[in-house]
Chains A and B, each alone.
Chain A
Amino acid sequence: MMIGEERTLAKKLIQEIFRISSKEINLMEFCGGHTVAILKQGIRQLLPGHVHLLSGPGCPVCVTATGDIDSIIHLSGYRDVITATFGDLIRVPGSTSSLQKSRAEGNDIRVVYSALEALDIARQNPGKRVVMVGIGFETTAPTVAASILQAAREGIKNYLVYSLHKLTPPVMKALLDSGEVKLDGIICPGHVSTVIGARPYEFIPLNYRIACAITGFEPLDILEGINMLVRQIESGTPCVEIAYRRAVKPEGNLKALELMEQVFRVGSAWWRGIGEIPGSGLQLKEEYRVFDAATVFQLTPQDATEPAGCLCGEILRAAKTPLDCPLFGKKCTPEQPVGPCMVSAEGACSAYYLYGESDG
Chain B
Amino acid sequence: MCLAIPVKVKSINGEEAEVESGGTSYKASIALVPEVKEGDYVLLHAGYAISIIDQQEAEETLRLLREIRVI
User: Residues on A close to B: CB < 8 A?
Assistant: 9, 12-13, 15-16, 19, 31-33, 58-61, 86, 113-117, 135-137, 139-140, 142-143, 146, 149-150, 189-192, 194-195, 220, 224, 245-248, 253, 255-256, 259, 344, 346
Contacts and interface: CB of A to CB of B under 8 A. Distances in A.
Contact of A245 (B48, B60, B70): B60
Interface of B: 1-4, 29, 31-34, 43, 45-48, 50-51, 53-55, 57-58, 60-62, 65-66, 68, 70-71
Nearest to A221: B61
Contacts of B55: 246
A246 B1 contact: no
B68 A246 contact: no
Given A146-B31, A246-B57, A140 B65 contact: no
B47 A247 contact: no
A234 B32 CA distance: 39
A190 to B, nearest CB: 8
B66 A253 contact: no
Contacts of A32: 1-2
B46 A115 contact: yes
B21 to A, nearest CB: 14
Instruction: Give the most central of B53, B57, B60: most A CB within 10 Å.
Output: B57
B65 A139 contact: no
A140 B1 contact: yes
A346 B3 CA distance: 10
B46 A143 contact: yes
A170 B54 CA distance: 29
Given A13-B65, A246-B55, A192 B60 contact: no
Contacts of B53: 246-247
Contact of B32 (A16, A33, A245, A256): A256
Nearest to A14: B70
B51 A247 contact: yes
Contact of A253 (B50, B60, B68): B50
Nearest to A255: B32
Contact of A256 (B50, B58, B61, B71): B50
Contacts of A136: 1-2, 46
Given A16-B68, A32-B1, A140-B1, A114 B61 contact: no
A142 B1 contact: no
Contact of B48 (A16, A135, A143): A143
Nearest to A59: B1
Contacts of A13: 65, 68
Given A9-B66, A142-B32, A245 B2 contact: no
A116 B47 contact: yes
A268 B25 CA distance: 40
Contacts of B71: 19
Instruction: Give the most central of A12, A60, A192, A194: most B CB within 10 Å.
Output: A194
Contact of A246 (B32, B33, B50, B58): B58
A143 B3 contact: no
Given A191-B50, A245-B61, A248-B51, A139 B1 contact: yes
Instruction: Give the most central of A32, A136, A245: most B CB within 10 Å.
Output: A245
A86 B70 CA distance: 45
Given A60-B1, A136-B1, A142 B57 contact: no
